[in-house]
């Protein structure tokens, strides 16, 4: 068995930064909680919980003396206001790329323009961007949704940072036909594009493709979809215990990649287990 590990597999810059902030708080003895799970990875969230960092659903649940860590996905402006009103100290780990989208949509909507977000309406990052975009905001994840909407003549388009390029382009094509005065900002993160392109290359040459990451992670699932289109034997696993060993042969080339929310230690465990199973 030949094992190839993607160079871009695992934590992206924004997620690593958020995790480092959380561990820095622990080291400094600061009592803190995160607003929502810090990372879309159950194993890392559990690791944080055991280390003493729990997650809450709203600023109202933050205990006295606790600091609130905002995750890389970012939050809507109301959350900052609520934390301020309640006197809760905040550590803002919003990814700088996401914060730049917040500024972009706030500025555009301030000039009376509508904002169109291409992405998943229920994803926390998209919800937060919508929160900064004011009232004239549209969210589309499929070209059909664009056809059914009553769109204005002028709008700004931004993308969820982790959306697949092909999906963004197909939705955008539809929007272009409907909105004459359109400003397009492709805000797909470079970390996402690199990971997707690398996954395309790896899955095209591998016999078995393994994507490591949370089943609840949007970017991990998109990575898996990309791999499955090119490699029939693609698997999405969360931990080394889920390695589909019965589906792997000793002569296979196995490629490993991981979502932006997958910690390096989990990826390492999967690689070690594969090497132990197929020395």
Mark 59-78 with x for binding to ligand SF4 (rule: CB under 6 A) and - for no binding.
Answer: -------------x------
The rounded distance, in Å, linking the Cα atoms of 111 and 253 is: 54
Nearest CB to ligand SF4, comparing residues 6 and 14: 14
Q: Which residue is nearest to ligand SF4 (CB)?
A: 14
Residue closer to ligand SF4, measured from CB, 83 or 98: 98
Residues contacting residue 10 through CB under 8 Å, at least 6 positions apart: 258, 260, 262, 263, 264, 267
Q: How many residues belong to the site for ligand SF4 (CB under 6 A)?
A: 14
Under rule CB under 6 A, residue 13 binds ligand SF4: yes
User: Within a 13 Å sphere around the CA of 252, how many CA atoms are in the beta-carbon half?
Assistant: 23
Q: Is 125 a catalytic residue?
A: yes
- Residue closer to ligand SF4 (CB basis): 15 or 146: 15
At a CB cut-off of 8 Å and minimum separation 6, what does 271 contact? 3, 5, 256
According to the binding rule CB under 6 A, does residue 9 interact with ligand SF4? no
Binding mask 238-267 for ligand SF4 (x = CB under 6 A): ----------------------x-------
For ligand SF4, which is the closer residue by CB, 139 or 146? 139
Report phi then psi at 228, rounded to 5.
Answer: -65, -25
- Contact map string, positions 173 to 212, toward ligand SF4, x by CB under 6 A: ----------------x-xx--------------------
Residue 214 interacts with ligand SF4 (CB under 6 A): yes or no: no
Identity of the residue, 74 or 113, whose beta carbon is nearer to ligand SF4 in the bound complex? 74
The least CB distance from residue 199 to ligand SF4, in Å, is 14
Closer residue to ligand SF4, CB minimum distance, 225 or 242: 225
CB 176 within 8 A of CB 233: no
**CB under 6 A: which stretch of 11-19, 82-90, 129-137, 237-245 binds ligand SF4?**
11-19
Distance of closest approach, residue 83 Cβ to ligand SF4, in angstroms: 21
Q: Are residues 163 and 118 in contact, defined by beta-carbon separation less than 8 angstroms? A: yes
Q: Which of residues 127-166 bind ligand SF4 (CB under 6 A)?
A: 161-162
Tell the smallest beta-carbon distance from residue 235 to ligand SF4 (Å): 23
Residue 218 CB partners (closer than 8 Å, separation 6+): 40, 120, 123, 162
User: Which of 21, 44, 120, 125 is an active site residue?
Assistant: 125
Residues that bind ligand SF4 (CB under 6 A): 12-15, 72, 95, 97-98, 161-162, 189, 191-192, 260
**Catalytic residue ranges:** 125
């Amino acid at each position: 068995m030949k094992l190839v590990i993607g160079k871009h597999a695992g934590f992206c810059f924004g997620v690593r930064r958020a995790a480092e902030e959380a561990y820095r708080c622990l080291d400094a003895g600061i009592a803190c909680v995160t607003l929502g799970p810090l990372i879309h990875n159950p194993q890392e969230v559990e690791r944080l919980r055991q280390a003493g960092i729990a997650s809450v659903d709203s600023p109202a649940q933050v205990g006295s003396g606790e600091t609130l860590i905002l995750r890389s996905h970012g939050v809507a402006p109301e959350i900052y206001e609520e934390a301020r009103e309640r006197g809760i100290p905040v550590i803002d780990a919003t990814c700088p790329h996401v914060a730049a989208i917040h500024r972009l949509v706030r500025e555009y909507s301030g000039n009376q323009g509508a904002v169109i977000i291409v992405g998943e309406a229920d994803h926390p990052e998209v919800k937060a961007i919508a929160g900064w975009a004011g009232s004239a905001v549209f969210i589309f994840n499929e070209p059909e949704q664009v056809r059914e909407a009553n769109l204005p003549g002028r709008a700004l388009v931004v993308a969820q940072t982790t959306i697949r390029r092909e999906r963004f382009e197909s939705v955008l094509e539809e929007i272009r036909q409907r909105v004459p005065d359109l400003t397009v900002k492709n805000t797909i993160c470079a970390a996402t594009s690199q990971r997707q392109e690398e996954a395309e290359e790896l899955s095209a040459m591998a016999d078995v493709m393994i994507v490591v990451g949370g089943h609840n992670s949007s970017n991990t699932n998109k990575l898996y979809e990309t791999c499955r289109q090119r490699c029939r034997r693609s698997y999405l696993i969360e931990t080394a215990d889920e390695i589909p060993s019965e589906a792997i042969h000793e002569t296979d080339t196995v490629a490993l990649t991981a979502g932006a929310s997958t910690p390096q230690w989990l990826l390492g465990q999967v690689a070690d287990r594969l090497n132990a199973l197929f020395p």
